[in-house]
Structure 1
Amino acid sequence: MSLPDLPTLAGLARSLAVYYGQPWKTRRLRRFYRDLVRPGDLAFDVGAHVGSRTRALVAAGARVVALEPQPAFHRLLEMILPRRGVVLRREAVGARPGRLALAVSRRHPTVSSLSPDWIERVRSSSGFGDVVWDRLIEVPVTTLDLLIAEHGIPAFVKIDVEGMEAEILAGLSQPLPLVAVEYLPAAIEVAYASIARLESLGRHAYNRVEGERHGFVHAAWRDAEAMRADLTALPAGAPSGDLYARPAAAETLR
């Protein structure tokens, strides 16, 4: 097994510092996830990166299928994720199975992406000025439907894949109990497309989390129209976050 090059090692170190360097945030994330999943629940972590979300879900008692297509991060996850309760897969997730080209930023690997359109949208925005996507890797791609057929229906799916969120939801043919997709104000169209896809599967209620605060912004969950308005009002320089969706009973949003 070849060792990562220096830019990749620097990217690994940066990501580890960001996601594990502030233990109080780790504790907050674990408390937040304990309110979302119950012991024994199945969860999918799509875009596991350095495993912080997978580890928090396992700490909450969930069984996790973690997917990370970047080779260096997959090797890291093999070393740091618990063996019990985790299935680790070196795959991306998309609208259909196959293979796709992953554009990797070795120094900023957290923003590696399968979406050329997303990269073009964000490369000139605040926070991306120093990012260079300097490597292409062909990676295998599966779908949420195929994962469900193999592992069962998850109670929670977290999707953080830099612009591919709506495409991943296109590979899902049924509503799920709880889904979280990343949103980025500089590329907010991806969040709109994700909402549209979820609504095509059934009426949903929405909330969101800003940055790494690990708490919902709104006390009451909102319908699709209200959430789109909420996202539209965000300034382009606002922090990214996670958009949460769950199926909504008709009476819930009256």
Structure 2
Amino acid sequence: MSKSTNMKPRVAFFDFTGCEGDQLQVINLEEKLLELVEIVEIASFREASSAHSDDYDIAFVEGSATTPHDAERLEEIRENATTVVALGSCATIAGINAIRNSQDFEAVKERVYGGEGDLFESWSEAKPIGAVIDVDYEIPGCPIDRQEFLRVLTDLVRGREPKMVNYPVCLECKLNENTCAYLRDDICLGPVTRGGCNSICVNGGTRCWGCRGLVKNPNENAACDVLEEHGLTTDEVMNFYNLYFGWQRTEEVVQ
């Protein structure tokens, strides 16, 4: 797998439009970082080192794509890397940046930049990186789960196919014996959101916000039944869906 002369794959991290919280999660591996550098060589990781090299095998890309320049950078990364992994919600589903996708773009520019909006070259929609280049794997979450990141990277280094779960957060809530957020008179996106987070937000007494994106083939009828049972309509929860699902809803990318 490695293009370098030693046997360790070379890994690089890149950031686009986002908060870089996913890369901080990697740094938060703390002592496990020592285990990480035993199996890979870091070619570029701006959050942790000023060193940079364009010689890498695996590229982890954080953040959504929002400009033509982003597209150019992503194409260069894709050309250099053997494997590209989208890291976090912004990279996998355009994340919170996609809230603007359903709004008037000129009004958005005016709100953000005032009268200088035309000085900034930007697309009218924020896009996940998979809408610009081919992506081999995705690690969802806002932020990512650092143990999930470590598992995916270890699988890649060992030549195994990383496996991601495809069941809703509700399953993990039941395993954790959580009181359903709806029974607490809250709105929750757990019925249609991809699990794998161990229902961390609901464990803490709040709701699922949908940061891991829609589960494939979500049971929309069951989700509507839950809303109806608790006196809610789809329109009433639409703003919650828009927080993370802006791209998936408008592009209908879930098969």
Asked if Structure 1 and Structure 2 have the same fold, meaning a TM-score greater than 0.5 normalized by the shorter chain, the answer is no
TM-score for both structures, normalised by structure 2: 0.31
Structure ranking higher in helix proportion: 2
